[in-house]
Amino acid sequence: MSMDGVDTADRGMGRIRDALSPRRWNLAEQRRRFIVYCLLIESVAVAGTVTAAITVPTRTRDIVVFLALAGLGVLQAELGRQVERVRRLVSDTPHINLTSVWTFAGVLLLPPALVTALIVILYLHLATRSLYRIKKVPPFRVVFNASLVIVTCHATQFVMARTGIPTLYAALGDVWPGVGVIVLAAAVYFLVGAVTVLPGLKITTRSFAALFGGWGDNVLEVSTLCLGVLTALALGTLPALVVVVLPPLLLLHRVVLVKQLEDAVVTDEKTGLFNTTGWHKLATRELARAQRRPKASFGVLMVDLDLFKRINDTYGHLAGDAVLRAVAGAIRGEVRDYDSVGRFGGEEFLVLLPDVPERGARAVAERVRAAITRLEVSVDVSGQPDVITGLSASIGVATYPHAGTALDRILDAADSAMYQAKAAGRNRVVSVTDA
């Protein structure tokens, strides 16, 4: 072997040693409740695996299927490695890595202990090959995510066993009941996976999208489960056909990346809200819609945090970013799912309220103002935990067509109303009609 080859091998082993080093796990720095939950999930995963290994026999066929799924999973991860890393870098949202294709196929075909081994291999490969340069994914998080998947798979197999059709092989011999059990298994896998991850999420709003992901996230998860069923069917009947799963899976991987890149263009990196470009695009579309309809109305809120510079100066810019994220969550929690919230820059936010008259827009603004005053933002200051309270915002309200029939005029009116709220003492709502 050449010296270059030795150096490459040494660097690879060094990355693995660094990833496995307890010093880099940072678990002790997490929230106490999360630490407890993390250890609980990992303990359940280990206990379930050990119990299953003792009680459920493993056959030669199972070993062959396990090797096939592990090999295909690693191959797919290698072929899509660059796409996966870009996806991780582009998006900070709860992430689906497409391993459900292989793990759900394992649920349908393998004993629980081999399913655990499959998950360990896939996640270890993912961590050491795709994520090692991404500091946002510490090793403890990879272990926790793998443990969640193990628990999800064991729960799904437990439900299948209770139906009397514990595997896809049994389902093939009892067609329609078997179809029902496979659909039930997919539903259990989906629901258990969605619920068990909730205590591990760091979110500032309890909206459905924040807790369970958006429509696209859930469609993606369902798609991977469907491909998992097809993979299991191929391995259980005509194993050579299993390779046909790879092309559509890799295509799906790239389609998801394209969608994430499109979202990134119109998304504010710090808060996850629309950026100025994205918000203006939606507001322009709403204005055109309103102009086509007689007596149509929509509201615009200009929300500006009071004395935000003092927060940055006192607690630091990282704490200021945490406050911005908390305020973004508070605003989202007080508006409808189809209202558009954007960050205008600095500490200013914009809210678009379709089909809302002035009275309704002002009522929403008051709810937003009150929600911001109730915020308690946990931050770290020089390594010490602290809580920022006493936040407030001045909000200007403008509505179409009273404030203007052009978007710039409406924004100027909302901005002027917001500055009047500042001048009147802050922490209040002022609408154009108050002037």
Name the stretches of the chain with pLDDT < 50. 1-9, 12, 15-16, 19-20, 22-24, 93-95, 204-205
pLDDT the model gives residue 212:
53
pLDDT the model gives residue 87:
62
> What's the token pair of residue 44?
């359940």
276-434 adopts what CATH topology?
Alpha-Beta Plaits (3.30.70)
Place of tokens 């603004």: 365
Distance CA 428, CA 422 (A): 8
Residue 401: cis peptide before it, omega within 30 degrees of 0:
yes
Query: Domain ranges in the chain?
Result: 3-264, 276-434
Please answer whether residues 395 and 303 qualify as being in contact, where contact means their C-beta atoms are separated by less than 8 angstroms.
yes
Report pTM.
0.65
350-361 pLDDT, tens per residue? 999 999 999 999
pLDDT the model gives residue 137:
62
pLDDT the model gives residue 198:
80
189-198 pLDDT, tens per residue? 999 998 898 8
DSSP 325-366: HHHHHHHHHTS-TTSEEEEEETTEEEEEEET--HHHHHHHHH
pLDDT the model gives residue 183:
96
Distance CA 96, CA 193 (A): 11
159-177 pLDDT, tens per residue? 999 999 999 999 998 889 9
283-329 pLDDT, tens per residue? 999 999 999 988 899 999 999 999 999 999 889 888 999 999 999 99
Place of tokens 């890595």: 97
What is the distance of C-alpha 30 from the center of its chain?
19
The per-residue pLDDT of the chain, averaged, comes to 85
Integer-rounded Cα Rg, in Å, for the chain is: 26
Distance CA 350, CA 273 (A): 10
pLDDT the model gives residue 331:
95
pLDDT the model gives residue 8:
47
Phi, psi of 400 (to 5 degrees): -90, 135
Write the CB contacts of 345 (distance below 8 Å, at least 6 apart in sequence).
276
User: What three-state secondary structure class fits 433?
Assistant: helix
pLDDT the model gives residue 250:
82
Of residues 123, 131, 10, 31, the one with CA closest to residue 70: 123
Q: 85: part of which helix (H) or strand (E)?
A: helix 81-90
